[in-house]
Structure 1
Amino acid sequence: MSSNGKPKPPTAPTPQLPITVPRRTRRRWTALAAGAVLAVAAVLSAAPTASAASSTTCTGGSTITYQPGLTYTPRTVAYTETDSLNSCLSTDPAITSGTSGSSIVLDQASCLAPPSIVRDPAFTITWNTGEQSVVDLTFTEVVLGGTEQVTGTGPVISGKFPGGNATVVWLYPVLNLLQCATGQGVTTQNGTLVGQITSP
């Protein structure tokens, strides 16, 4: 997800077009070297869609860990993401929360890394009921004012809510430039997320 290009604060933002990437290639390396940022993507509604036969809307948090931390020196880094859908409102009253996560290895990862595509499995939500929804998401990433927004949209391809349409929006602070310059580097990013699945 976000990378910050130079060991100094970003300059004034210059809007650019969003980056669209397939499936869960998302995040990590948005170049901010010249203070470039991306246009703001649409934010999904926090309320269920009235016309939908079923709808589930959740809010929660997301934590990314890098081991070892990201610095200005490229190296192999283990990337782990844990998403917690802590509060859900659903037309299925049994659904109250959910979790999702992924772990991949990034080659030549650094705070200066250019945009890159890394594929990992489809986005899977495990609900508090033990059921799962597997979603094939396409991601759009934008950065504005020190915040990175990643929006994923796509169909539920198996599990609960089959045939539904999902939208998930993550918000993260961009990488800390000063922390990138330390020996430890950036080891964590903490953000928020909102997700919605609707079925006609």
Structure 2
Amino acid sequence: MLSTVLSGAAVLTAALIAPAPAQADVEAQLLDTLTCASSSTTTYDPPIGLTPVTTTRTIHQVYGPCVGTGVASAVTGGTHDSSNTTARSCLQLLSTATVSWTIHWSNGSQSTVTTQRVSNLAGAVFTNTFTGTVTSGLLTGHAVVETMTAPSTQILACTLGQGTVSSLGAVHTLTIV
């Protein structure tokens, strides 16, 4: 009887000491992070102006160098390329929008992110802040923050009706935690 009580106590002690599966998953996710420097080029053909025009927007973005931990430790860089045709104006560059894109990572995996974009035009600087979540692929469920900074000269002139935007070159910082 004493051995039964002792073995029961051992099982109870082990259950109390072992982390719950959900807690273990959360702790593992905290170890899975990724931070990347990045640059992008976005072109508009034909260029966009103050009045909406049907244009093809093409984005080429290169992520890297990247530093990852946990499941993302093998990621050293990545790319995102997309193109679509729709009616656009330069005023839309300053709007808030839900944006999704897929990143193809250097280790052969990919991540699709869905974010809310908030834009700001202040002096000589145009910024976008993207805040959201990895919705599929590597690091699914993790939070995403990406900041983009570009010169604002073309955009400012366009919003004043004094020019068009044909392309934007930008630098980015991506953090997935």
TM-score relative to the length of structure 2:
0.69
Report what 2:14 is aligned to.
Answer: none
- Give percent identity, aligned residues only: 29
Structure with the larger RCO, 1 or 2 (CA within 8 Å, 6+ apart) = 1
- In 2, the alpha carbon distance for the partners of 1:62 and 1:147 equals 15
* Runs of 4+ off more than 3 Å: 71-74, 109-120
Q: 1:94 aligns with which of 74, 77, 90?
A: 74
Structure with greater Cα Rg: 2
Amino acid at match of 1:192: V
Instruction: Say whether the 8 Å CA contact 1:175–1:186 is kept in structure 2.
Output: no
- In 1, the alpha carbon distance for the partners of 2:49 and 2:81 equals 24
- 2:98 maps to 1:126: no
Change (3 A) 1:173 1:162: same
Matches within 5 A, 1:28-39: none
- In 1, the alpha carbon distance for the partners of 2:93 and 2:176 equals 32
Report what 2:171 is aligned to.
Answer: 192
Matched residue count: 143
CA drift of 1:126 comes to 0.8
The structure where strand makes up a greater share of residues is 2
Report what 2:34 is aligned to.
Answer: 56
In structure 2, stretches of 5+ residues that fail to align are 1-28
Amino acid at match of 1:57: T
Coordinate RMSD, CA, aligned:
2.7
The structure where helix makes up a greater share of residues is 2
Report what 1:81 is aligned to.
Answer: 59
- In 2, the alpha carbon distance for the partners of 1:71 and 1:138 equals 24
Report what 2:23 is aligned to.
Answer: none
Change (3 A) 1:86 1:70: same
- In 1, the alpha carbon distance for the partners of 2:93 and 2:61 equals 25
In structure 1, stretches of 5+ residues that fail to align are 1-50
